[in-house]
Each structure stands twice: as C-alpha cells, then as structure tokens.
Amino acid sequence: EIVLTQSPGTLSLSPGERATLSCRASQSVNNNYLAWYQQKPGQAPRLLIYSASTRATGIPDRFSGSGSGTDFTLTISRLEPEDFAVFYCQQYGSSPLYTFGQGTKLEVK
Amino acid sequence: EVQLLESGGGLVPRGGSLRLSCAASGFTFSGYVMGWVRQAPGKGLECVSTMTGDSVYTYYANSVRGRFTISRDSSKNTMYLQMNSLRAEDTALYYCAKRVGPQGAFDYWGQGILVTVSS
C-alpha cells in the first residue's frame, strides 16, 4: 500500500519568499500521476498541479511542480498573501487507487 | 461554468443510513469520472469512492467498502452516495469532485456537505 509523506508539517515564510514543499511516496507513483492541491479554511481544495508538473487551468505560473518516481516538489516562486494555506499531494494508480498526503501548512512568518 | 452542488447531508444515528446527491452542470457529465472525497473535522482528505462516466467501474476505499454505494444518473446529471451502517468515524465534510482525466486528479469540487454520525 502506497503512503505519501509530506514535509515539512508546517512552513513559516514571509510574502515574497520562495516556498518548497515536499511529497515523498513509499513506492514509485504510476506514470507520475501526482497532484497538488491548496486548501484555505472553509473552502474546498483547489487543484494546482497534476501529472507532477502540469499546472491546472487558471493557476498562476509562480506555482510549479517537479519530480518523478517517489520524490515530488511543489514550488511557489514568490509568495503572495493569498498563497498561505494547507497543501496536499495526491497520487493515483497505486493501491489504494487514490491516496492523499497528510498536508503541509504554509503560514505567515 | 462547471458547478457541483451536494445535498442530503445531516445528523444520523450510528448504524443509520443517508444518501448524498451531487448535481452537476457545465460539462458533459457522462464523459468524466466523478467521486466523493471526505474530510473529517480538522483532518486531511480521503477519497472514498469514484465511478466512471459509463457507470461501469467503481472504486471504494477499504474504510467504506461494503457499506457505501456510489451511483450516477446521466439523465439527471447527478451522482449519488448511499451510505449505510454509518459509524462515528464517517463524520466528515463530503465533497463531490470531478476528475480531470486519466491522470487521476480532481479539478472541480463542490462546496461540501456535512455528515454527522451521532454516537
């Protein structure tokens, strides 16, 4: 059974800084079908990245995804005030078919 | 504009049943995998069930298999989740979500509907 581990648990940064979030899988992610979501309090998750590096519709280019196999990264090049939230990674294809990481909270320093 | 609107949530006793509905609009409903993703209070996300657009293939998380049944009615552009033998650990916000394609990510989400199982 595949497990996704996100790090760090909490990341404290200031607007304008660069954020790097990690998602590590316990086994290789099929076809690199790895997605990233942003969730703000009281809102549904928003898809940012799928297939490890493809930005979803309407997502600003300051968000980028990279990685393959078992190690994936979400980078926010220059943090805007509205970017602070909880971020989840999710894989598709290994058992169980859909798996989410436990989340990384990005907070204002 | 894609819209997903959940309904049917509420308070139910342990062992009881509930049926959630998700009314979809703004896209070709029969062309996409749809699913239910839940979030327990203060916790992370769990995909509990999905169904292909042709209603042929389904997925259930181990935590709900045998108790929950997913279905969809393309004539009504609506997806359902029948939840039986509810447990306290099923208490969560249930989101209806549309899958983006074969890549397995969910690109559109409803606002969520709360299910509370009283113990």
Q: Is the pLDDT of residue B44 over 90?
A: yes
Give the integer Cα–Cα distance in Å for B50 and B42.
23
Instruction: Write down the residue that tokens 């703000």 correspond to.
Output: A40
- The answer for residues whose C-beta is within 8 angstroms of residue B75's C-beta and 6 or more apart is none
> Given 3-state DSSP classes, what are the helix, strand and coil percentages for chain B, each rounded to the nearest 5?
5, 55, 40
Nearest residue of B to residue A42, measured between CA atoms: B111
The DSSP output letter for A27 is S
Nearest residue of B to residue A54, measured between CA atoms: B103
pLDDT, mean of residues A17-44: 97
Interface test with A, best of B4, B5, B45, B93 (most A CBs within 10 A): B45
The DSSP output letter for B31 is G
Residue A23 distance to chain B (closest CA, Å) = 15
Asked if the Cβ–Cβ distance from B44 to A88 is below 8 Å, we say yes
Give the integer Cα–Cα distance in Å for A39 and B38.
13
Asked if the Cβ–Cβ distance from A45 to B109 is below 8 Å, we say yes
What is residue B3's three-state secondary structure? Answer: strand
Give residue B85's pLDDT. 98
- The answer for residues whose C-beta is within 8 angstroms of residue A78's C-beta and 6 or more apart is A16, A17, A18, A62
For A6, the token pair is: 């996100």
Give the integer Cα–Cα distance in Å for A20 and A39.
17
For B42, the token pair is: 């203060």
Give residue A27's pLDDT. 97
Interface test with B, best of A29, A31, A98, A102 (most B CBs within 10 A): A98
Give residue B102's pLDDT. 87
pLDDT digits (tens, 9 = 90+) for A38-71: 999 999 999 999 999 999 999 999 999 999 999 9
One-letter identity of residue A63: F
Nearest residue of B to residue A30, measured between CA atoms: B103
One-letter identity of residue B69: T
Asked if the Cβ–Cβ distance from B104 to A33 is below 8 Å, we say yes
Asked if A79 contacts A92 with a C-beta cutoff of 8 angstroms, the reply is no
One-letter identity of residue B12: V
